[in-house]
Each structure stands twice: as structure tokens, then as C-alpha cells.
Amino acid sequence: MRKGIVGAATLLAGLVTVNPSLCAIPPTVRLSETPMTATLAAQNAQKITIPAGTRILVRMIDSVDSSKQKAGYRFSASLETNLQDDNVVVAPRGTLVYGVLASASSAGRMSGSSELTLELTDIVINGTAYPLLTSTYAVKGSGEGGNTAKKVIGGTGLGALIGGIAGGGKGAGIGALVGLAGGTAIAASKKGEQLTIPSESLLEFRLAQPAPLPVAN
């Protein structure tokens, strides 16, 4: 029995001598060196904070109708101009954005007029949706026989609006609703006493608080 134990010990010692790596302790893998961590760190380093007050001009993809949609309805749109900080483009024209119908009233329910209030909620960059907090866009009908209360911009006014946003100017006001049918402005149209913001309309919002966003690939 004693000879068997001694023989086994000798054999084990021989294996260790021939291949020392069998007893080597594997190196410690530090989390900071993993590819996933490095990727996340790179993404965080590339984030740029878009300041509050920045104008965001979007083109509606979905239409919104006071006779059909209710508060909470989510709509989609796309950036009509680059979203940028100084000369750095964070999200290019055409980037997908989402919004919500914050409130809606149909004619006959509140003082005989319709009202729609919209706001943006998210922007999709590199396949990920990032939250936005923006000003609201509100349009209200003035009642039967009247026109909508909002002023609209078209033609050269539209060019000034887009140019002002792209250049960071302060010339155009919030809440412009415009269309591109031959350069003619399309107001929120009355459908009976209802309001409709058609697809392809342009809406302007402003960031209500700074938004840290990654740069689009």
C-alpha cells in the first residue's frame, strides 16, 4: 500500500515537471479590458449634450386627426434638418423620431372647438431610442365658421424657418405648421369642425431640457 502511494506521488510530480502549465494559475481577466466594456466606454465618450432651446423641425410620417386619435396616441416623424451642436451633426436629416398626442379634444365637447397638442418623446440613433423632452405644439380651432388660431408659414417664410434652424438663428417662432405642396402653407385643416395635421406636414419643437445623445454612425 505504501509503495502504491509513493508511486502515484512520483508520477504526479513527473507530470508537473513535464508540463508546468497544468498547475499554472490562469491570469485574472479585468472587466475594464473586455471588448464590451470598451465599446460602452467609447459610446459614452461620444455623447454630446444638445442644449435646451434647440429647435427641432420634423416632417410628420403619420397624420393626426382630432376626430380619430385620442390623447396618448403615438406618432412618428423624421428630422427635416440635421440635429447638431455647433458644427457636430448628432442626428442627420431623415432620422426617425417619435411623439405623443398629449391632449386632444373634438369639436362639440369643449366650447364647440377642437384642439390638438403634440410633443416629441424619442429620437432613434444607431438603432436605439433616446428620450427627448420638448415644448408642445398646440393647434386649436376657433369654432364653427372660423379659422384655426395658429398662424402658418409657407413659401419664403418656410425657407427662412428652415434656414434659421439649420444656422441656429432666432428668426422663426415656435409652433409653425407648414406643408410643401408647391410652397403653400397647409394649416391644420378643418374637417367639419375637426382638426387634421396631415402626413408630410412640418412641425417645429424646441428642447425643453438638455439632451445627451450619441453621434450617429
Domains of the chain with bracketed CATH: 2-44 (no CATH), 48-213 (2.40.128.260)
CB burial class (10 A; 0-12, 13-18, 19+) of residue 141? buried
Q: In DSSP terms, which residues pair with 97 in a beta bridge? A: 77, 123
Residue 143: C-alpha distances to residues 31, 146, 188, 189, 192 (Å): 64, 6, 13, 13, 10
Over the stretch 37-46, which tens digit does the pLDDT of each residue have? 555 555 555 7
Cα 120 from Cα 196, distance rounded (Å) = 18
Q: What is the pTM of this model?
A: 0.62
What residue type is 78 in one-letter code?
S
How far separated are the first and last CA of the chain, in Å rounded?
71
Q: What local confidence, expressed as pLDDT, does residue 112 receive? A: 59
- 3-state SS assignment for residue 187: coil
Tell whether the model's pLDDT for residue 133 goes beyond 80.
yes
Over the stretch 73-101, which tens digit does the pLDDT of each residue have? 999 999 999 999 988 999 999 999 999 99
Contacting residues for 190 by C-beta, under 8 A, at least 6 apart = 141, 147, 148
Q: What local confidence, expressed as pLDDT, does residue 143 receive? A: 54
